[in-house]
Structure 1
Amino acid sequence: MRVLIDSGRCQGHGRCYDLAPDVFGEDDEGYGTVIGDGSVSPGEEPHARLAASNCPERAIDIEGAAR
């Protein structure tokens, strides 16, 4: 699975990098960023999903997730 952050929707609440620090980071202004190319290891998938579901602006998109 792969994650993306829509920078136009992100408001910098920081929940993504608090909940999944191995998947998300923050820029100099506190907005969420994706670490690397956005690929998520199987062990981090639950954390990435939790971060996405806790984003108030729904700025995190998940691609290629098995349902």
Structure 2
Amino acid sequence: MPTAPAPAETQPTMCLLHGDYHPMEQDCWAATMDWQFARPHLEGQEARDAYLAAVERQMLDDLVRSH
């Protein structure tokens, strides 16, 4: 029997604010929206891809700094 998916608010998401993958909170979503509003020229999949790339860069930068 398949299990029901977790509620959206508990599903991990890529977070640029924290450079992490976790369930998002209000400040995380605010940072995501600020990032998107600062790039009105990006739309749809292009915007999503650019945001994910920015999170990945942040995660890598954090990893390099920690070592």
Common fold by TM > 0.5: no
Q: Give me the TM-score of the superposition, normalised by structure 2.
A: 0.30
Per chain length, whose mean CA-contact separation is higher, i.e. which structure has more relative contact order (CA < 8 Å, sep 6+)?
1
More helix by share: 2
Q: Give me the TM-score of the superposition, normalised by structure 1.
A: 0.30
More strand by share: 1
The structure that has the greater radius of gyration is 2
